[in-house]
Every structure is written in C-alpha cells, then in structure tokens.
Chain A
Amino acid sequence: MTPPQKERIRIRFSKFGRIRFTSHRDLARVWERSLRRTRLPVSYSEGFSPRPRLRFGLALATSHESCGEYLDVDLVPGTDVDVDTLGGLVDPTLPPGMRVQGVTNVAPGSPSLQESVSSCSWLVEVPDLGPARASEYIEQALAARELPVTRTRKGKEVTDDIRPSLFSLRIAEPDECPPAAQWQPAGVLLRAELATQPRACRPAELLAAFDGAPQEGRVVRLHQWTTVDGDRREPLEVHVTPESGQHLVETLAPPATTHATARAS
C-alpha cells in the first residue's frame, strides 16, 4: 500500500524595506511561526525533533529585495485549503514588508523549486555609474565571448566565466522599480536576467565583470523563471485578485526584453 499523497501548496511572496536585512535562514523561522499562527495544518517530519515540511526556493541574499519569492508547504493529507483566501489570513501574521502575492496547489510529483528555477530577473541599482558608461559596459558584456570573474570560495580563488549565465542585460527605466520598493534609484538602474543553473549567478558577480567593478546599490529580484516544455514561466503565475498585491506583479510583467541568449559571435 502506498502512503497517502501529501498535499502541497506554493506561496509566492514579496520582501521589501527594512525586512530585507533579514537572512534566508531568518525568513524560514518567520514562516514557521506565521504558519503556526495561521493554524495551517502543516505536515511535520518524523523523529525526535519534528520540523514543519517547508521548502524554500533559491536563497535571496541578505539586503536584497524581491517580489518573487517562493515557499512550498506540505500539508497534512486530506487537508482542504482555500488557496484564494489563504493569503489574506497569512498576511497579518507576517512582519512589515512581507506580503503574500499568491497561493496555488502544486501537483504531486512536481519538481522542487530549487531544481526547476533556471534563471532570475533582477533590478540592480549602481549608484556610481552614469548611463553613458553603463551602455558601454552593457554592449561590451553582451558582445564578449567570456566574462571571467574571480571569487573566493572556501579560501581559494576561483575564476568563473559568467558569460553563459548572462541571458539579458539593459538599462531599466526608474518606473520599473516596483512601488513597494519605495526608493528612487541613484546612478543607473540595470535590468538583468541571470542563470541559476548550474549555480546561481549573483548580480554582484555581473558588476565585478565591469571595469572598476562598481558596487551594487539596492537590488530587487523581480522574477524567478522556470522552463517548461521550452516555455519560460514563473513557478506561480499570480491570480488577478486585488488583495494579493497584484498591482506589484502587473507592473513587473516582463516586457519584451532584449534577450541575448545567442552569443554575439
């Protein structure tokens, strides 16, 4: 006899403002408490120290903001959760700056968030960079065959070519900054799509490939993308309900960006 199939829901949420200084690990604890306060029948692991079965997508770096974070929650089998109203119940238990944008059921056997996400779209503020220099850098980066970046990993210097991870890059308009961000970009605002496989390329690594390695200012993760049957898609397309923070997602609907998936060779 096969064990009963676990019910699973996926929550998409945003993280803006002061709360961005909490870590990925901190957020896991925030969610555990929040779901207990909501009295959601979360499934727990076995053993001496049962933990709620929560799975997070790609970690968001401390101090980065986002309107595309995900959390998968395993529920007690047979649980009937109204995914359309759950967000309204959870929101009051979340700290200021975090909001549920949407909730959906996940089909049994779906791949995990971690393995299904292939790239992310980012807004990157670069305070010390003007538009003219930025355009030059963008052109060079997209035209380059290789973008070697050196980083320290476990005490050793490792050089990676991040060019294959750079899917698209352009200067963004200030109004592409989501309203929830409540800040005005200084310098130049870049919009980039960076690969997450085989490992997640970070916005700071992209800047490190520029001459003079300008420092990143504020950074917003706009979207996480999966590829399903060749289609680029978000793990949770947000429902059109006003209370779920939809205005955010609409503002951020991906425009026809200049994709640079083909090498400029």
Chain B
Amino acid sequence: MTSSSSSGATTDVWPALERHLASVAKPARYIGLEDGAPSSSRAPGKAGWLLCYPDTYEIGLPNQGLQILREILNERDDAFAERGYAVWTDLEAVMRREKIPFFSIETHAPAASFDVIAFNLSAELVYTNVLNCVDLAGVPVRTADRADDDPLVIIGGHCTYNPEPIADFVDVVVLGDGEEVVGEMTEVIAEWKREGKTPGSRENVLRALARIEGIYVPSLYDVAYDGEFLAEVTPRYADVPERVEKRTVADLAEWPYPKQQLVPLTEVVHDRLNVEVFRGCTRGCRFCQAGMITRPVRERPADQVRTMIDEGLQRTGYDEVTLTSLSTADFSGIEQTVSDVMNLDTGCGEPGTQPPITLGLPSLRVDAFTVGLANKIQNARRTGLTFAPEAGTWRMRQVINKLIREEDLYGAVGSAYSQGWRRMKLYFLTGLPTETDEDTLGIAELAKNCVELGKEHHKNPSVTVSVGGFVPKPFTPFQWFGQNTEEELRRKINLLRDATRKVHGVNLKWHDSRASVIEGLLSRGDRRLGRVIELVWQRGGTFQEWSEHFSIDLWLDAMAECGLDPDWYIHRHRTEHEVLPWDHLSAGLHKDFLWMDWTDALAEVGLPDCRWTPCYDCGACTGYSIEHIVASATPPAGGSQGTGVDLTQGHTVPVELTPRKVGAQ
C-alpha cells in the first residue's frame, strides 16, 4: 500500500473493517469513541502522529504517556495525533487476508497516512509487536528499506534506555519525558512535510531531529565490535551528538495532563481516573530501573492534584481514582489529599451516606504510616493489602537497597490485621545479586511469620507471596550483574514451593522464568539481536507478553541461527570497563556513581534516600541544573525505609566524586 499523506485526505478502513468485527473477539477495542477523544483535527500540512501501544487495547489504552502526548500534540496548530493499538491475532488474520492496513482508532485512517508512527515501549517482549504493527501498516520494517515519504517510526518509554536490539527498525528514539520534545520534533517534521518529502529528504530530517536534545537516531551511528565485545558506538557526522541525554521536564505543575483522560467503552486494565502526583524516585532501590531513570523527584502541587481529581471525576463519571507515582506514600501532600478525596461530594446515593470515591494508592511503602493511610480510605474493602519487601533477609535487602527492617514489615502487617484486613500480598524478587538459599528461604520465613501475626486477629489469615525472577536493567547499579539462569530461577522457586507447601495460609505464586530470560536478553542486548527479533516476528512470535503466545524456543532457535550465545548476553557478569550497548546514551546518572553503588551493593551497604540526606551526586540533578521538587523538607512519618535510621555502619557517601557536566567526556 502507498502513503497518501501529502494530500491530508485518506480513505478510512472502517467500511472494510466493520464487516468482520462481529466475528472477532472483543470488537469494542477497535471502535474508538472513547469519551475525551475529540474528532480528529487532521488537516493538510499538519504533522500527523499515530501514537501506538504495541499491545492490546485493554493494556494500552490506560497508558498515561500516550494520553499526555496526544493532548499536547492536538493542542498545537501544526500537528494532530491519533492512537493505534496492536490488533489481536484473529483480526490480524482478517486484515492480512483482506489487505486492510493497520489503522488509527479515532478515524480508522491507515497508519501509513501519518507522518509519524510512534510507539510507547514499556516492556521488552513487545518488540516483535512493533515490527508487526509497522508491517501491517505497509511500511518496511527495516529503516534501511524505507522510502523518503514513508512515516518515521519513533519510540519512547522506558525501554528506550537500551534501544540497540531494535535499532535496525526504528528511525528515531526519544529519551526521557516527552512533553517538551514532541513540540520541537513536530516543527522539524511539519517542515519536512511542507517541503514535500522530496528524494533524499529523509536523511536530512533525521539529521535535523538528531540535533534536538533527547533524540537518538540509531542509523546515524556506526557500531564497532572487538570480537564478541562492543568496541564503540560513534556518530557518523560532526553535528550528531556523541552522547544523547534524556529529556527532563523540570516542573510538573506546568503540565497538568492528561486534562481529558480517555474513558474507554470496554473494560481495560486500570479502568479509573489516574492522577500523577510525582515523577521520579530517590529511594534508590538498586533493581529498579524506573526509579533510576526518572530522577529527580518532581512533585505536582497538592492543590493541582486536588483540582485534577475533582474535575476528572466529574467529567468522566468514574468513582475510582488512583494517585500514580513510584511511591505514592512519599507524596508530601498525601494525608491531606486522601482526606479531601474521601470528602468529595459525588452527588450520588443517599445524602450523608453516598458511596465514597474508591482511592487507589499504588506502590506503598512497608510501614505503619502506610497502613494508617490505607485505614483512612474508609470504603476500602478490607480484604487485601499489598506490600513489596522484595527480598527475604535484611542482608539481601541491604544489597538491593530496599531498607525495610523486619520490624517494619511485621509492624505494618500486624497493624493491618488488627484493623480488619485479612489477606496480605507480598511481592518478592529472586535471582538477586549475592542471593544465597538462606536469602531465598527467608521469603518463606517472612510469610510464615506474617500468617502467625494474622492468627492473633483472625481465624484464617492468608499471605500470598508473589515471586518474580530478577532481570538486570540498563542504568541501574545491577546492570553489570549476570542474570540467573532459568534452571537456577526454577530451583529457587522450587525451594520456596517446598518450604511453603505445608504451611497453611501461605500461597505461593511465581512468574514464568522462561519469559524473564528473554526479557533479560533484550534488556541488555546489542544491535546484533535485531536479526533475532526479526526472525521471531517472521515466525509468528507476536504477543510474547502473553503466556499463551510466548515461546522461548522461537527465541533460542533464532539465536542459534544467528550464531549468538544466549549465555553471553544474559548470564554473564560485565566488568567495570566493558563498553555497554547504552553507554552512548544518558539517563543523567554518572556511570561511576552506578559502579560505586554496585560495589556498595556487593558490600551489603545501604544508601538512604537523598531527598532527606546529602546529595550523592548521582548526576540526575546536577547534569540538568534542576533539583528535586518536594513540598516537604522532612521525611514522611513512620518506618525506617529511606529515613536513614538503622543503616549499617561503614558506608562512605561518594561525595568525593568531582562534579562534572554530564555529557562531558
């Protein structure tokens, strides 16, 4: 199929699609019509963005990043934005048979009629879906094969901190917060469009985009190897940066988006109002990529949060709101905000006894303060409360810098049981650096003790233990760690199964360790994996996030065919001076800070939260001349986590690192 972007007029695929929707599963995910989605502001000359989530509508619709960018772009005079989601395999078969291209769900315009097809990547296993969407759009999957007037394929989101495995398939990579950079990109793209996308213009527009801070254009870099090791990644032109810095929005108060959160007509995950209360996290959990790459902490003013909740609930008709962030109990205005939400007038039900708003507080700390907060949410069904101690022993928790003492956990759990909760859910990781069987079994021990605590208050208390296999991620102190093998992860899970099998009240759940292995392959891989991804996609390996579609054999066979060693990529410890595939990118964190934090981890030394302790010069603030924006100068009440209490002695804060401008070599 051919692009018709120059005219701005397109023939929509709806009439062709409609005939088949009655015969596919959950057709409502292809109709659009969400409340909050305006009719398209498509017009000739405007840069058209198709913002895609490379998984199903139910998973992708709630994505706040895409919703924020959709609004910002549609507010501009020179851009319009619509959305696309991966179609399920039944509809894909119909589309390939009937030659219906990938489409936007607002106007059902063919994807190739947009100037940009952009993807949010929040998980590695969706990479093959990106290729599938691009192919369904009728656009060549490899950048090298694209014509001048083909849409630009752009990616953003957390996976872009190591985009090398999919570098062959994407024209442009955006690092960091998208609010500002999409406007700068639009200006370049709109001009390219006005000038008619003439022969040879694609390279020019890519060069122009590469000059924008936060933009990485993989095709403008040469990659050199030294045997199996990466030697260097170097720009091919002088005006292309040697190192690409992420973008950071300094003040969330200036970006009260989404203003019109989309309300889907069919059931999706997180189907409720979501209000982001802060971005970034300085708890410093060493396994957590999100906490590392989104620094510094930037809080939204509490009164803006209240306004967004109040207006959002009235506009959408939702009776549930979640305050999103990486650690919501740390929000300075949390207690007042919770009280305010509980007292909102919803206009429903009997006066005085109207059903209150359901308030969700994700990612809570493990302490009594948190339980007190949960207790304030009066309508909370007292059935379950979730905590994430992440590791079973204090030693292990010092290694990963999740500084929760056993007293904190038992205090929180005991307090929750005494106030009416009956079921606890505890999240743990296994396969962590330096983990011994004693550490693994500590998980079972904690769970057993929690059940015992529960028996003081209830007849049949239960603790669900959810265990995930640890996958090391770029730009974390654990980026040098060789991931546990699938066999080792399975052995550890079996240890826990044996230890909990006969314990009444403890239910063990675990993730598929085979999926963790492939996630590990892609998270720290290099460009040589491009062919592997392409082969897996060609052999039908889409929707790899879905257990019914995931196939480890597809991946291992493709690796073998490409002569690549999975062990070398996944299970090998990296050394200090090895060139990592993401060294030419920057999340603001100094590599030597991360290395020092890695050696601290191995020495079992914890590092308190820098919001309330001196700066460690990780680079996230200083490099961008911005600071943490926190309304309260004092640490939140309760708990030792991150407050500097009870840390082991002997740790030296690496303040001797010479401050330097990030990006300087």
A-side residues, CB < 8 A to B, are: 18-19, 21-23, 25-26, 29-30, 32-37, 39-44, 48-50, 52, 62-63, 76, 93, 95-97
Contacts and interface: CB of A to CB of B under 8 A. Distances in A.
A29 B27 contact: no
Interface residues on B, range: 20 to 34
Interface of B: 18, 21-22, 27-28, 30-33, 35, 263, 265-267, 271, 314-319, 346-351, 354-355, 379, 381-383
Nearest to A63: B22
Contacts of A34: 317
A52 B348 contact: yes
Contacts of A19: 31, 33, 265
12 contacts: A18-B31, A19-B31, A21-B27, A26-B28, A33-B316, A40-B348, A44-B349, A48-B383, A52-B348, A62-B28, A76-B351, A97-B33
Given A22-B265, A26-B265, A93-B317, A36 B347 contact: yes
Contacts of B32: 18
A55 to B, nearest CB: 17
Contacts of B314: 37
Given A40-B348, A95-B35, 19 more contacts: A21-B27, A21-B30, A22-B31, A22-B266, A23-B266, A26-B28, A26-B265, A26-B266, A32-B317, A33-B263, A34-B317, A37-B317, A41-B348, A41-B349, A44-B348, A48-B381, A63-B21, A96-B33, A97-B33
B106 to A, nearest CB: 11
A237 B21 CA distance: 33
Given A21-B21, A33-B316, A76 B33 contact: no
Contacts of A35: 317, 348
Given A30-B265, A34-B317, A48-B382, A39 B27 contact: no
A-B CB proximity, top 6 nearest = A33-B317, A39-B347, A63-B22, A21-B27, A37-B317, A50-B355
Contacts of B319: 32, 36
B267 A63 contact: no
Contacts of A49: 381
B351 to A, nearest CB: 8
B34 to A, nearest CB: 8
A95 B348 contact: no
Given A34-B317, A36-B347, A39-B347, A21 B31 contact: yes
Contact of A29 (B267, B315, B354): B267
Contacts of A96: 33
Nearest to A219: B22
A225 B271 CA distance: 35
Given A25-B267, A48-B381, A50-B355, A36 B346 contact: yes
B348 A42 contact: yes
A26 B351 CA distance: 28
> Which of A21, A25, A52, A97 gathers most chain B CB within 10 Å?
A21
Nearest to B346: A36
A37 B349 CA distance: 13
Nearest to A42: B348
Contacts of B383: 48
A62 B265 CA distance: 13
A45 B483 CA distance: 51
Given A19-B33, A26-B28, A36 B348 contact: yes
Nearest to B263: A33
A37 B271 CA distance: 16
A76 B314 CA distance: 20
A212 to B, nearest CB: 18
> Which of A30, A37, A62 gathers most chain B CB within 10 Å?
A37
Contacts of A41: 347-350
Contacts of B351: 76
Given A21-B30, A29-B267, A50 B349 contact: yes
A9 B109 CA distance: 41
Nearest to B23: A63
Nearest to A62: B27
> Which of B32, B317, B383 gathers most chain A CB within 10 Å?
B317
A44 B354 CA distance: 8
A18 B348 contact: no
Contact of A22 (B28, B263, B347): B28
Contacts of A29: 267, 271
Nearest to A51: B355
A39 B346 CA distance: 8
A14 to B, nearest CB: 15
Contacts of A22: 28, 31, 265-266
Nearest to A27: B265
Nearest to A216: B22
A49 B350 CA distance: 15
Contacts of A52: 348
B349 to A, nearest CB: 5
Contact of A36 (B265, B267, B271, B317): B317
A26 to B, nearest CB: 5
Contacts of A43: 349-350
A39 B271 CA distance: 20
Nearest to B318: A33
B349 A26 contact: no
Contacts of B271: 29
Nearest to B381: A48
A22 B34 CA distance: 12
B360 to A, nearest CB: 14
Nearest to B313: A36
A63 B33 CA distance: 15
A76 B316 CA distance: 22
A23 to B, nearest CB: 7
A54 to B, nearest CB: 12
Contacts of A33: 263, 316-318
A208 to B, nearest CB: 16
Contacts of A62: 22, 27-28
B267 A76 contact: no
B350 A63 contact: no
A182 to B, nearest CB: 12
Contacts of B266: 22-23, 26
A48 B422 CA distance: 14
Contacts of A21: 21-22, 27-28, 30-31
Contacts of A44: 348-350, 354-355
A93 B267 CA distance: 18
A20 to B, nearest CB: 9
B62 to A, nearest CB: 15
Nearest to A64: B22
A26 B267 contact: yes
Nearest to A32: B317
A36 B31 CA distance: 24
A79 B383 CA distance: 34
A40 B315 CA distance: 14
Contacts of B379: 48, 50
A76 to B, nearest CB: 5
Contact of B349 (A18, A76, A95): A76
A33 B383 CA distance: 25
Contacts of B349: 41-44, 50, 76
Contacts of B346: 36
Contacts of B33: 18-19, 95-97
A63 B28 CA distance: 9
A187 B32 CA distance: 29
A5 to B, nearest CB: 15
A35 B319 CA distance: 11
Contacts of B354: 44
Nearest to B347: A39
A76 B319 CA distance: 18
A49 B382 CA distance: 10
A29 B18 CA distance: 24
B348 A63 contact: no
A34 B318 CA distance: 9
A34 B263 CA distance: 11
B446 to A, nearest CB: 28
Nearest to A94: B35
